[in-house]
Structure 1
């Protein structure tokens, strides 16, 4: 740690020491020879005379004056440009004896003859265009063979974690385009890890809207933080690629291959990766998309969330874990992962009317891991500490197809079709042992000792279809769209659970022992459909009214059968009727809305209101009672939206967004059957759950100072959820039972600000200092069991603030990046105040 800080100090000291020597300046005044008036807003570029490399640039003020400071002695070239005037070039020199140079009055007119022989590329490293921030790659030096990910790490306001996930201004980047087109579907890592930095001209950051919103110019609230990687024009034709291979101790290896064929609009890319160093060739969304709504075979209850307890309906869980997807595990980056992946991406414009982008991606991973966990759960004045040791293996195989087909029928009509197919097979095995100790005032005793084996096999398939028809009328701004969205998915899974749990009394004597040996089969199907239409009507030159309608019908089924082991036959053929259940969930909704948008040169705003009438019906058949039950609920919701975007100058942008939306409960949360995969953590669904309603507010600000290259980006957000679906946890004789219910009281506020300071000294071109601050306050809610056995509401309030600082030093022969981050967390509980705590985390990279 001391060595890192020392290195950072030396680098900073060296830079500022060098900056002290560069104290020269060049000044002057620009005049129009015809009108004898000052020329304002002209661009004055300063280049090195020896190689024409850009040193810096500035703008003239209203009086036509300019001054460039912080220059070292040497020979330079001044190039002065303005869109209304002829270009002026002038050679100047600074010496140690004369460090301040005033070139006097420089005149320009339409009769000026342009000099030849010098090619100038004058691009600021950062440009703010409305709500888009563009980073020009030439302003951020990278080492040979660097990837897009290496370049992104150097951009102010951008973060890349060890898994390769990208964040911009504290928000996760969900999409990455290449020249405005999809690259291997919606997996950002495939672009950032396989495109080389020397191919990139610029990286754009913005909030992408849906295809319908782009066409109608009406924001529908569906936004995703997005990167667009623009490639250099000379990389649009030819073959190129990248291959790397590495081998280390303990037979660790990694190999990567990318081959590209670009020919104008046609682009073909091939990727291959194989390694056993925990680098996966797929994102976690590949796994989720193929699950078809399957709830999983258990695993412990809850999760961590907000603070140490609760969070996201996690109940009173302390530093621990359970939850997740039970036997189905991607492995994440824990354990030892061996992975193989390959894919092909194809982009082309078949004619002036047809554009197509398609990809196929295959991934295979094998994960082996051993884990030790310690979970503390509080119930009134009792604390249960569960010590768990586990070993597990999992194998996952994934096939993913994506297609985007756009057909322009004529100048007034077009069709967009974007299907995707995911197929997956997974196998997992786990063995764990655990012991639970109960602590109460004045005493402590061993409560439960358990052993569990789980085996699971699952096959999943998901097919998504999105079809959009768009029509423009003769009147500019008058449009109509028709859309159809469909998701069809299914999964077949079977799991084997063998467990033994021994329970002890407070005096240490044996209470009882429970053995479980059963096989469970579950089939899940989803069929979701939505039909929508939107009509826009212009009013004048800058006003637009939209009227929309959407019909939604989502149907999900989950059929579960459980069989106990029959010792006499040696087979799993004795039905367990308590755990056998057929469940069907139907959601149907009609939504109508209107939005009004005003577009001005420096600002635009939009506001709207939608009304939805929906119904939720749950049908359940319980084998133990041989009875059907039906639960129905109806809702009427208002969906207000508001957006405001203000761009006072080309380099500053202020925006505000608000939207409200609903979240439906999942099949696993609704299905009222006991999941006893983990006999100490039983999970039961609640068919009476209501839908959640979320309110989201966001304010964002971007500013780039063209004089100093300084970037400031800030973001404020607040969200609250009505009828939030949370966990309700009870404990009886050492067994924890988790149910679901709706509660109010959840909200979260966060603030983020980043400051990027690229070095202007030409000897440190591409180097920068970056500072960021991220803070949040979250109140989560759950239900826990009090000392008297009654259920009481618990609030978990978590305050977090983190400060980060980084420096990127780029030189032709080396590249150094140092990042330091310090975070303070304060967690408080209303029902378990003895567990309140605060702590610091430090990260160095």
Structure 2
């Protein structure tokens, strides 16, 4: 927002209050006061219509599933129903010359009720498993967040920045869960149900300190930075579950337990960087990045004593302590230059990493130390064909190292149906990333387009390795595979045409993905080649300031071909159509409509393949400051949230509860007062 410098003192804001059918409500307040470089802003909101925060949209306000939150009306909005309350305060000022301060605080309280049902087909080398589950959860959470951004210019060549932030969270949740699994012969293998409650408290402190020195010689400068992230998480939970294995030899699993868990994480990152000009158009840079991270996880589980109903029987198999220490040094050297219209840069280095993993489980200590020496680097080129056209190419050699739970040979038995054990011989993931793109932006003709291609190729990739016993219990670990890849081809074209009071804007986009995934199921290597095509077409028509119409259509096609699984291939298509219309005629009236249609071709069982979502709103400006409004969410009462997800090892259909039709009446009050600098 920009304010005329002459109007250097004043305030503005708005108040909104609404109530509707099904006891739906929303209210919000926004106030901003400013004087010279000082600005104080306050905002608050409260609603039970799934709005995550404060909205500045004045057609549908905080109504979800429409234009205000970036969700297509055809998507059905978010799953679950959330009540939320938010209070925020922002303060910015210049306390003294060459300094700027920005201080922010917000508090958010939310309650989310979620009901879900899921069907999951797990693909095996021979046969398959079909699981059907239902869950219901409710969570209350409180979150406080304070952050400060302070920047000071010590001299014309020296600047410092200081940015601490602290966040605290508290959550109380309850969850019921029921699941049954059948084999390919429709024989029940296992069933489980649970009722769990938990209370968690989390504190996270982050800080960023940066120093910048610009030397007298042009192009020579030095930067230093230090970042820390310190978190403390405590979890207290009650677990009540029963898992029955109808086949095989796995014993039934009954749990009535009290679990406490403390998780601490401290991470510190330092960076030194120096730039030295070689010529007027080229320079060298030297940098050193260091990372130190320390984590610990202490979990204690107590079974209930049936005699006095106290949770005082220590369960060794479901209790453990593990810690992880990592230290990394990554020195780099780089070079950059400009040759006519071409900008080139390259850097290379080697990451030296020391990881120390420790675990205490079943009265035994396990220590595993790993040393890694991994080269990495980047090459990029940007060629400016003209002022409106450019060509970009970039290559990166990257890596990720395995985490403690991936390499420690300690069994995790938290889930009665899944046992996860680390692999001490696991190697890092190393991969090549290449991207190239061409863009053309012609503001005079209104025609713009870009083409983008990127690919990632893995020399080595960390993947899951799972085996299922005769009881349907999953025994999982981690392994490495080679030769997997992911490719993306994307493009978009748009053009704006203006004629008198008419404005037309066209947009066409095309995204295509192709990837090869590998993994292990029942000790056999599988492959899955996935293709995804996603074209879209949009149109915007504006008639002066009286009418705005925006239709949009999006089509998605997914196809996966499997090797060494019981299913050779599967595919799915979705169609999404959405049209937004806003009319500002007659004067003082605003009429808005968001209409969407969604069709999902292969979603199975009881899940509905298609639905409509129509939101409508009409408002009238009573006076200069007051606006009354009537709006209807899901006018046709068809909203749903059903989806199909196809992975390399499973086909998953799921549905969650969503908001249904309601009518809302709101009143908006806007105010402002600016004082003009007469001097």
Match of 1:773 among 506, 510, 521: 510
More helix by share: 1
Could you say which residue in structure 2 is the equivalent of 1:371?
116
- Which residues in structure 2 correspond to 1:436-447 (within 5 Å)? 436-439=181-184, 443-447=185-189
Counterpart secondary structure, 1:649:
coil
Match of 1:582 among 311, 321, 330: 321
Counterpart secondary structure, 2:486:
strand
1:257 aligns with 2:29: yes
Match of 1:797 among 514, 525, 529: 529
Whole-angstrom distance in 1 between the partners of 2:309 and 2:350: 58
Deviations 1:74-119 (A, max 9, x none): xxxxxxxxxxxxxxxxxxxxxxxxxxxxxxxxxxxxxxxxxxxxxx
Q: CA deviation at 1:763?
A: 2.0
- Which residues in structure 2 correspond to 1:294-373 (within 5 Å)? 333-373=78-118
- Which residues in structure 2 correspond to 1:548-559 (within 5 Å)? 548-559=287-298
Q: Is the 8 A contact 1:556 1:667 kept in 2?
A: no
Could you say which residue in structure 1 is the equivalent of 2:485?
747
Whole-angstrom distance in 1 between the partners of 2:39 and 2:383: 37
Whole-angstrom distance in 2 between the partners of 1:696 and 1:760: 41
Kindly tell me: are residues 366 and 597 of structure 1, through their superposed partners in 2, closer, same or farther at Cα, counting changes over 3 Å? same
Whole-angstrom distance in 1 between the partners of 2:427 and 2:390: 39
Kindly tell me: are residues 561 and 539 of structure 1, through their superposed partners in 2, closer, same or farther at Cα, counting changes over 3 Å? same
Q: Superposition RMSD on alpha carbons, in Å?
A: 2.5
Whole-angstrom distance in 1 between the partners of 2:566 and 2:253: 34
Q: CA deviation at 1:571?
A: 1.2
Kindly tell me: are residues 245 and 565 of structure 1, through their superposed partners in 2, closer, same or farther at Cα, counting changes over 3 Å? same
> Which segment drifts farther, 349-358 or 523-532?
349-358
- Which residues in structure 2 correspond to 1:400-549 (within 5 Å)? 400-439=145-184, 443-505=185-247, 513-549=252-288
Q: Is the 8 A contact 2:124 2:566 kept in 1?
A: no
Whole-angstrom distance in 2 between the partners of 1:266 and 1:821: 45
Deviations 1:366-389 (A, max 9, x none): 011211111111222121111111
Whole-angstrom distance in 2 between the partners of 1:235 and 1:801: 52
Match of 2:418 among 678, 681, 685: 681
Kindly tell me: are residues 697 and 255 of structure 1, through their superposed partners in 2, closer, same or farther at Cα, counting changes over 3 Å? farther
Q: How many residues align?
A: 555
Match of 2:127 among 366, 382, 398: 382
Q: CA deviation at 1:555?
A: 0.9
Whole-angstrom distance in 1 between the partners of 2:577 and 2:190: 40
More strand by share: 2
Could you say which residue in structure 2 is the equivalent of 1:837?
570
Whole-angstrom distance in 1 between the partners of 2:560 and 2:194: 33
Whole-angstrom distance in 1 between the partners of 2:80 and 2:429: 36
Q: CA deviation at 1:681?
A: 2.9
Match of 2:438 among 701, 706, 715: 701
Q: Is the 8 A contact 1:618 1:687 kept in 2?
A: no
Deviations 1:180-237 (A, max 9, x none): xxxxxxxxxxxxxxxxxxx57xxxxxxxxxxxxxxxxxxxxxxxxxxxxxx8878976
Counterpart secondary structure, 2:317:
helix
Q: Is the 8 A contact 2:368 2:408 kept in 1?
A: no
Kindly tell me: are residues 797 and 609 of structure 1, through their superposed partners in 2, closer, same or farther at Cα, counting changes over 3 Å? same
Q: Is the 8 A contact 1:583 1:671 kept in 2?
A: no
Whole-angstrom distance in 2 between the partners of 1:438 and 1:795: 22
TM normalised by structure 1 equals: 0.62
Whole-angstrom distance in 2 between the partners of 1:689 and 1:389: 35
Kindly tell me: are residues 652 and 771 of structure 1, through their superposed partners in 2, closer, same or farther at Cα, counting changes over 3 Å? same
Counterpart secondary structure, 1:387:
strand
Q: Is the 8 A contact 2:409 2:422 kept in 1?
A: yes
Kindly tell me: are residues 271 and 704 of structure 1, through their superposed partners in 2, closer, same or farther at Cα, counting changes over 3 Å? same
Could you say which residue in structure 1 is the equivalent of 2:467?
730
Q: CA deviation at 1:547?
A: 0.8
Deviations 1:460-509 (A, max 9, x none): 11111211112122211111222212111110112222111222249xxx
Could you say which residue in structure 2 is the equivalent of 1:295?
none
Counterpart secondary structure, 1:279:
coil
Q: Is the 8 A contact 1:436 1:446 kept in 2?
A: yes
Whole-angstrom distance in 1 between the partners of 2:484 and 2:497: 43
Kindly tell me: are residues 517 and 743 of structure 1, through their superposed partners in 2, closer, same or farther at Cα, counting changes over 3 Å? farther
1:720 aligns with 2:452: no
Could you say which residue in structure 2 is the equivalent of 1:826?
559
1:618 aligns with 2:357: yes
Q: CA deviation at 1:593?
A: 0.8
Q: Is the 8 A contact 1:581 1:673 kept in 2?
A: no
Could you say which residue in structure 2 is the equivalent of 1:292?
none
Kindly tell me: are residues 364 and 519 of structure 1, through their superposed partners in 2, closer, same or farther at Cα, counting changes over 3 Å? same
Could you say which residue in structure 1 is the equivalent of 2:370?
633
Could you say which residue in structure 2 is the equivalent of 1:278?
50
Kindly tell me: are residues 513 and 638 of structure 1, through their superposed partners in 2, closer, same or farther at Cα, counting changes over 3 Å? closer
Deviations 1:786-835 (A, max 9, x none): xxxxx122222210111101111223222221110011111112121525
TM normalised by structure 2 equals: 0.77
1:756 aligns with 2:498: no
Counterpart secondary structure, 1:594:
strand
Q: Which has the larger radius of gyration?
A: 1
Q: CA deviation at 1:437?
A: 0.9
Counterpart secondary structure, 1:578:
coil
Q: Is the 8 A contact 1:501 1:515 kept in 2?
A: yes
Q: Is the 8 A contact 2:297 2:322 kept in 1?
A: yes
Whole-angstrom distance in 2 between the partners of 1:364 and 1:658: 44
Q: CA deviation at 1:687?
A: 5.6
Whole-angstrom distance in 2 between the partners of 1:662 and 1:255: 48
Q: Is the 8 A contact 1:482 1:533 kept in 2?
A: yes
Counterpart secondary structure, 1:759:
strand
Match of 2:140 among 395, 399, 409: 395
Could you say which residue in structure 1 is the equivalent of 2:343?
604
Q: CA deviation at 1:615?
A: 1.4
1:810 aligns with 2:569: no
User: Where does structure 1 lack aligned partners over 5 or more consecutive residues?
Assistant: 1-198, 201-230, 284-331, 786-790
